[in-house]
Amino acid sequence: MDIPVLDWQRFASGKDGDGFVRDLGRACRETGFFLITGHGIAEDLITDVFAKSDAFFARPMAEKAKVDIRNNPHNRGWACEGSEALDETSGQMDRKEAFNVGLDLAADDPRVLNGEPFRGVNVWPEVEGFRDTMLAYYAAVHRLAVALHGAFERDLGLPDGFFAPHFDAPLATLRVLSYPASPDGVGIGAGAHTDYGSVTMLMTDGVGGLQVKPRGQDWIDAPHVPGAFVVNIGDCLMRWSNDIYVSTPHRVLPPKTARRSIAFFLDPNPDSVITALPGTGEAKYAAITGADYLRSRLDATYTQKDIK
C-alpha cells in the first residue's frame, strides 16, 4: 500500500481543493500516513532547527542533564537515551535522545499558576538562538497543522472551522530527536507505536529508518522527499473520527549513520472533549478530555517518570 505525496498548494490555493480532499481522505482511511509538499515552511527555518538541535545534543551530558525531562512535570526538556520505551510490549529501550518544547507560557500565566495539566513553562538549554528558533518553528508548523484540519473537515462533512477552537491553545509538542549511528543494527531507534495526538508533522534529514505497518501488511519503508513533511494520523483523531481515520503503527530502525528528525505532535486543548464526531455513528469510545487522554499515554511511555 503506497504512502501518497500530496501537494498542499492544491488545497491552499483553492485550485484543486476537492481533489486534494479526496486524496487526503483516502490516505487517512487506508494508511494513516501521507507526505505534504508545498507547505510554505521556510527551508532556512528548518535548517536552523536542525543546526540548533545538533548544537544541543553535542553538549556534555552534565549540561543536558540540567534540563532533564524527568525533573519536569510538564513533559518539557531533554529525554536521554534509554528513558523511553515506545514499544510497550517488548520493553526494549529506545536508542535516541530528544528535547521537548510545549506551548510557550510565562511563569505568571494563570494556567501555570493554577496548576492546569501540562501547563508549565518551557525549559531552555544554554545554546545561542535555541529558544527563538524553536518557537518560530513551533508557531509555523502549528498554523500549518491547524490549516490541515480544514481539509479534514471537508472530508468528514464537518462545518468549516469545526476543529479550530480545539487547537487554539493546544497540548502540542515540538520534539527534536537524535538517533546515534548503529552500524551493527543492534536495538531499536524507536519502538513500534502509534502516536497519541491528532496529527504528527515530521521533518527528517533524509537518513532512512522510519517504517510503517499498514493493517494486515508487513513493515514498509516510509518514502523520503526532500523538504516534505511526513504526516500521520494519531490515536486521538482516530478516536475522534470514530475509527474512520486510522492511526498506524510505525517504528525507527537503528540507523547505520546518525539520524535526526523534527516532530511536531498536535494534541488538542486540554479541556477539549474527544467524542465521536457528528455523522460518524454510534460512539465506539467513551468521551475523554485531551489532557486525560495524553496523560494516560505518556504514563505508559516513560520508564522513570510521573508526568502531570
pLDDT, tens digit, for every residue of 85-129?
Answer: 888 777 789 999 999 999 999 999 999 999 988 899 999 999 999
For 128-144, how does the pLDDT look when each residue is reduced to its tens digit (9 = 90+)?
A: 999 999 999 999 999 99
Q: Which domains does the chain have, with CATH numbers?
A: 46-207+234-242+251-299 (2.60.120.330)
CB 279 within 8 A of CB 156: yes
CB-based contacts of 260: which residues, under 8 Å, 6+ apart? 50, 53, 54, 176, 177, 178, 179, 204, 205, 207
pLDDT computed for residue 85 by the predictor: 80
Look at the block and give the residue holding cell 549540561: 63
**Does the structure show a pLDDT above 60 at 40?**
yes
**What is the predicted pLDDT for the residue at 84?**
82
pLDDT of 1: 57
Considering the chain, what is the average pLDDT of its residues?
93
Residue 186 is predicted with a pLDDT of: 86
Alpha-carbon Rg for the chain, nearest whole angstrom, is: 18
The C-alpha cell at 210 is 522510519
Prediction pTM value: 0.94
In the chain, the N- to C-terminal Cα span, in Å, equals 39
Is 301 a residue whose pLDDT tops 70?
Answer: no
Confidence of residue 68 (pLDDT cuts 50, 70, 90): very high
Q: Extract the C-alpha cell encoding 2.
A: 503506497
Beta pairing, strands 33-37 & 5-7: parallel
